[in-house]
């Protein structure tokens, strides 16, 4: 007799109640690394989405009146609850998005640290007083009190690759700033997101302050984005979706963390061992499914051969396989993603690129692949694979490296490897990116550093303090004194 496996069903949270959708429709979530179904989440109706948004609006009015210290207490206890649920959360992340177990555990700890730091930073937020007399003598009787006020209801939309961390990175700064949140996790990642909200609920979340909405973006996404009670949208995901959100949001402020094509520029005088080690970990960890992964190498001709050899050698140390074994390179999120990467490799080899290493595939698992001799006519030179493949583009000089780096539609981060600091700073100044890493891999953290992308890589600034500032707005109260 065939055994019928039951599948765990997860509810949504709206206005303090965990519920199943009246649609009676569920979305099954399959693990990227096995045939297992991880669970199912609710496909909410537009009506339920409306209740979530209106409930958040109401809860926000009360929350805005709480002191920073009271708001911080909720965050401290959320961080505590997350750490208590660390094992369950890490295992869920591992199964749901195929991240290596050790990295999944790190994600949970990093998130708790993020939330605690956000609470601290919020408590240190203060306004300023501006003297009117500094502008002209006639305004000497004026004083501007500039304070930071909440924006209202923040719509937080998180991606699959950091289902806990990139959700909390939106929710915690929004809450400390006095906002309410409607949280829509990526469908693949929604179970991890749900567990994270369970931790917040256990921590004493006031009813309606964070409402969890699940469902297909294609069904409820536009309804949420264009909802008149949403006051700000904070999204992480693909650039095309980000652009579409930005257009539909019209006058609603947006913070968008989108794609990247981060180059590692390696100059002739670089420490090649260091560059190779950083390129391998920066490019291949979590199978390259990170917006900040190194996605192309611009190597100066003279040392390119040596660099490529060192990268290939270090790639031997990558663990490829199952998330349960804490592998660095695990199956990609779905077959569409894997097909896309395969297509980019095929296009490059057809046009003359050589495979230094990799290009093996079983199911959605693509072995780490290094392509040499990549030229500008190949798609891999410009497209974001979001997978474990790095192209090497050889350049004659620094100017050519800068030119190719800036030709990209993306502008998230860039790494420069050289011993010449002065030159590194000069090159960094020329690069059209949000951050430049000198002698280090591209990455978002530490999480209190400002984090931003230019061009198709994003809008707005994040990083704990900047995120709080981006999710609050200045309010100016002018005191007009009769006498000074």
Chain residues in the site for ligand G3H (CB under 6 A):
161-162, 257, 290-292, 443-445
- The 3-state DSSP class for residue 286 equals helix
Q: What is the 3-state secondary structure (H, E, C) of 161-216?
A: CCCCHHHHHHHHHHHHCCCEEEEECCCCCHHHHHHHHHHHHHCCCCCCCEEECCCC
For residues 322 and 99, what is the distance between their CA atoms, to the nearest angstrom? Answer: 9
Helix (H, G, I), strand (E, B) or coil at 393: strand
DSSP state for residue 355 in the 8-state scheme: E
HEC sequence for 112-174: HHHHHHHHHHHHCCCCEEEEHHHCCHHHCCEEEEEEEEECCEEEEECCCCCCCHHHHHHHHHH
Exposure b/e, 183-218, CB count within 10 A at least 16 = b: bbbbbbbbbbbbbbbbbbbebebebbbbbbbbbeee
Report how far apart, in Å, the C-alpha atoms of 91 and of each of 106, 238, 320, 411 are. Answer: 12, 26, 18, 33
How would DSSP label each residue in 439-454? SS-----STTS-B--E
Around Cβ 16, how many Cβ atoms within 10 Å?
14
**What's the closest the beta carbon of residue 320 comes to ligand G3H, in angstroms?**
19
**Spatial distance between the Cα atoms of 329 and 367, rounded to a whole number of angstroms:** 7
Centre a 10 Å sphere on the Cβ of residue 333 and count the other Cβ atoms it contains: 25
Taken as a whole, the chain contains a residue count of 484
Helices H / strands E in the chain, number of each? 14, 25
Smaller CB distance to ligand G3H: residue 292 or 470? 292
Phi, psi of 76 (to 5 degrees): -60, -45
Q: Measure Cα distances from 253 to 56, 321, 453, 475 in Å.
A: 18, 41, 16, 16
257 is annotated as an active-site residue: yes
The contacts found for 132-140 with CB under 8 angstroms, 24 or more apart, are: 132/478, 133/484, 140/484
Q: Residue 445 Cβ, how far from ligand G3H at the closest point, in Å?
A: 5
Judge if the upstream peptide bond of residue 47 is cis by omega within 30 degrees of 0.
Answer: no
- Check 40, 121, 257, 383 and give the catalytic one: 257
Task: Return the number of other C-beta atoms located less than 10 Å from residue 115's C-beta.
Answer: 29
Three-state secondary structure call for residue 225: helix
Least distance (Å) from ligand G3H to the CB of residue 292? 4
| φ, ψ dihedrals at 445, nearest 5° | -75, 170
Instruction: Confirm whether 350 is a catalytic residue.
Output: no
Q: Which is catalytic among the residues 105, 291, 443, 469?
A: 291
Least Å from the CB of residue 236 to ligand G3H: 6
Q: Of 74 and 245, which has the nearer Cβ to ligand G3H?
A: 245
Catalytic residues: 257, 291
């Amino acid at each position: 007799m065939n055994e019928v496996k039951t599948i765990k069903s997860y509810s949504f949270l709206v206005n303090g109640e965990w519920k199943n959708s009246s649609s009676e429709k569920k979305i099954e979530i399959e693990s990227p690394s096995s045939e297992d179904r991880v669970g199912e989440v609710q496909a909410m109706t537009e009506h339920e989405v409306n209740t979530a948004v209106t409930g958040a609006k109401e809860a926000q009015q009360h929350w805005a009146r709480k002191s920073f210290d009271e708001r911080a207490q909720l965050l401290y206890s959320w961080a505590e609850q997350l750490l208590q649920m660390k094992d369950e959360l890490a295992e869920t992340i591992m199964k749901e998005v195929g991240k290596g177990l050790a990295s999944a555990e790190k994600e949970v700890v990093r998130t708790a640290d993020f939330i605690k730091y956000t609470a601290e930073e919020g408590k240190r937020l203060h306004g300023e007083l501006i003297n009117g007399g500094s502008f002209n003598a006639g305004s000497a009787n004026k004083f501007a009190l500039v304070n930071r006020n909440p924006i209202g209801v923040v719509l937080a939309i998180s991606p699959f690759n950091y289902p806990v961390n990139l959700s909390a990175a939106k929710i915690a700064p929004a809450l400390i700033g006095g906002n309410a949140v409607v949280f829509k996790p990526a469908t693949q990642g929604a179970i991890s997101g749900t567990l994270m909200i369970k931790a917040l609920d256990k921590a004493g979340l006031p009813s309606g302050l964070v409402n969890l909405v699940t469902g297909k973006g294609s069904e409820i996404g536009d309804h949420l984005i264009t909802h008149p009670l949403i006051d700000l949208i904070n999204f992480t995901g693909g650039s095309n979706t980000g652009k579409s959100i930005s257009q539909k949001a019209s006058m609603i402020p947006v913070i968008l963390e989108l794609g990247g094509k981060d180059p590692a520029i390696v100059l002739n005088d670089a420490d090649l061992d260091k560059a190779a080690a950083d390129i391998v970990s920066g490019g291949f960890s979590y199978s390259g499914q990170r917006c900040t992964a190194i996605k192309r190498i611009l190597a100066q001709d003279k040392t390119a051969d040596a660099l490529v050899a060192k990268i290939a050698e270090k790639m031997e140390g990558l663990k490829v396989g199952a998330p349960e074994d804490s592998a660095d390179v695990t199956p990609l999120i779905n077959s569409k993603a894997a097909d896309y990467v395969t297509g980019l490799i095929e296009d490059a080899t057809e046009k003359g690129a050589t495979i230094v290493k990799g290009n093996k595939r079983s199911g959605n698992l693509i072995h780490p692949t290094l392509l040499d001799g990549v030229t500008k006519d190949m798609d891999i030179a410009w497209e974001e694979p979001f997978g474990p493949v790095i192209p090497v583009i050889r350049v004659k000089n620094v100017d050519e490296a800068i030119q190719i780096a800036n030709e990209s539609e993306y502008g998230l981060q860039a790494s420069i490897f050289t011993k010449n600091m002065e030159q590194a700073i000069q090159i960094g100044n020329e690069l059209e990116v949000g951050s430049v890493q000198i002698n280090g891999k591209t990455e978002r953290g530490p999480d209190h550093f400002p984090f931003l992308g230019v061009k198709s890589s994003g809008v707005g600034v994040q990083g704990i303090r900047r995120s709080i500032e981006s999710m609050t707005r200045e309010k100016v109260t002018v005191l007009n004194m009769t006498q000074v």
